[in-house]
Structure 1
Amino acid sequence: MANIKSAKKRILVNNAKADRNKAIKSGVKTAVKKVNAAIEANDKAAASAALLAATSVIDKASTKGVYHKNTASRKVSRLAQAINKMA
């Protein structure tokens, strides 16, 4: 355990940031699962709507620095590609 005041604060701040990042990543995973579920059900309209919501969540995660912009772009691209293959 840290004895120095600044080190104690860093531990608290890092835990708070880790919790925030975990929550954001969890939200992204949930959004992706909704898109995949709609794809599995062969419901293109629902999949497109879910993709729109997922894209928003992923872009926000990228903006907040949780995901690198290329990672976010790759996730969105793969989801869109999966939906386009449905038709």
Structure 2
Amino acid sequence: MANTPQSKKRARQNEARFAVNKARRSRIRTYLRKVEEAIASGDKSAAEAALREAQPELMRGVTKGVFHKNTAARKMSRLSSRVKAIG
């Protein structure tokens, strides 16, 4: 357990940051899930709309340090290719 005042403060800051990052990650996953569901339903226009909504959220996660830039780029690339493939 933290003993010094500095380490106690760092523990508090870590908890607060963890909560923020967890909420952000959950929000991004929700947007990605909406895209997945639209792809599964086969509705191309809904999938494209969901993808357009998910993209800025995913990139915001990158700027906030929740996801690595390449991870976000890979997810976007794979999702967009799957959306394009919908007949």
TM-score interval, smaller chain: over 0.9
Q: What's 2:83 paired with?
A: 83
Shift of 1:22: 0.6
Q: What's 1:25 paired with?
A: 25
User: Which of structure 1's runs of 4+ aligned residues deviate more than 4 A?
Assistant: none
Shift of 1:49: 0.4
- 3-state DSSP of counterpart to 1:86: coil
Tell me the C-alpha RMSD between the 2 structures.
0.8
Partner Cα distance (2:13, 2:38) in 1: 38
Q: What's 1:35 paired with?
A: 35
Q: What's 1:53 paired with?
A: 53
- 1:39-79 residue CA offsets vs partner (Å, 9 max, x unmatched): 11111001000000110110000011111110110111111
> Structure 2 stretches of 5 or more lacking a match?
none
> Structure 1 stretches of 5 or more lacking a match?
none
* TM-score relative to the length of structure 2: 0.95
Q: What's 1:72 paired with?
A: 72
What number of residue pairs does the alignment pair up? Answer: 87
* TM-score relative to the length of structure 1: 0.95
Partner Cα distance (1:53, 1:39) in 2: 14
